[in-house]
Amino acid sequence: MAIKLGELATTVRSKNAGVNQITFDIIFRNPQDYERARKSGKLTREAIARFMGIPQARISDFVEFDVANAIKFTIYRLRPGGSPGDWDMLGCQQYGPLLDIEIP
């Protein structure tokens, strides 16, 4: 049975990673939940880019931290944080849609 990422992960967050990037952290309670999500194919670089509607080239880093039961990825901003037209200066509102990803 599928479960939403927001229910499976203990932490899903986004934040500034400097003026030009936003980083995302997805942290799981235990190795079983982490492996379930990792092996689902829903949290790969390609799947994240498709889900977010961005080209893969905007994802600068994508790392699976097995020992921390965590997945982290960083994207390039469209414009520098805090510049005119930037609607999330701290980058902390970007993670919301990830909560609804269905993990089989």
CA Rg value for the chain: 14
Res. 10: pLDDT tops 90 = yes
Res. 87: pLDDT tops 90 = no
pTM score over 0.75? yes
Res. 12: pLDDT tops 90 = yes
DSSP structure class, residue 102: E
Question: First CA to last CA across the chain, in angstroms?
Answer: 6
pLDDT at 33: 99
* Average pLDDT rounded to a whole number, residues 38-42: 98
Res. 89: pLDDT tops 90 = no
Residue 36 burial (CB count, 10 A): 15
* Average pLDDT rounded to a whole number, residues 63-88: 93
Domains of the chain: 3-80 (3.30.70.260)
